[in-house]
Amino acid sequence: MRRISMLMLGAALFGLGTTRMALGDEMPGRATAKAEEQIQTRFQSDADLRNNQIQAVIDNGVVTLKGTVDTDAERAKAARLAMVKGVTQVDNQLKVGSEGAKAAVTDSTITARLKTEMLAEEQLRAVHVETNNAVVSLTGTVPTGAARDRAIDLARSMGGVYRVEDNLKILPPR
Per-residue pLDDT tens over the stretch 22-32: 334 456 678 88
21 or 67, higher pLDDT: 67
For the chain, domain boundaries? 25-96, 100-170
Q: Do domains 25-96 and 100-170 have the same CATH topology?
A: yes
Assigned architecture for domain 100-170: 2-Layer Sandwich (3.30)
Query: Residue 96 is which amino acid?
Result: V
| pLDDT given at position 99 | 53
Across 83-99, average pLDDT: 87
Q: What average pLDDT does this structure show over 45-64?
A: 90
Contacts of 88 (CB under 8 A, 6+ apart): 25, 61, 62
Q: How far is CA 92 from the centre of its chain?
A: 15
Q: Which residue has the higher pLDDT, 97 or 13?
A: 97
Question: Would you place residue 53 in the very low, low, confident or very high pLDDT band (cuts 50, 70, 90)?
Answer: confident
**Confidence (pTM):** 0.48
Q: What mean pLDDT value characterizes the chain?
A: 82
What pLDDT does 81 receive? 95
Give residue 11's pLDDT band: very low, low, confident or very high (50, 70, 90).
very low
The pLDDT value recorded for residue 51 is: 81
Rg for the chain, CA atoms, rounded = 24
- Tell me the per-residue pLDDT of 93-136, one tens digit each, with 9 for 90 and over: 998 875 555 565 588 899 999 999 999 999 999 999 999 888 99
Architecture of domain 25-96: 2-Layer Sandwich (3.30)
Report which residue type is found at 1: M
What is the helix (H) or strand (E) element at residue 142, kind and residue range?
strand 135-142
Over residues 81-94, the mean pLDDT reads 93
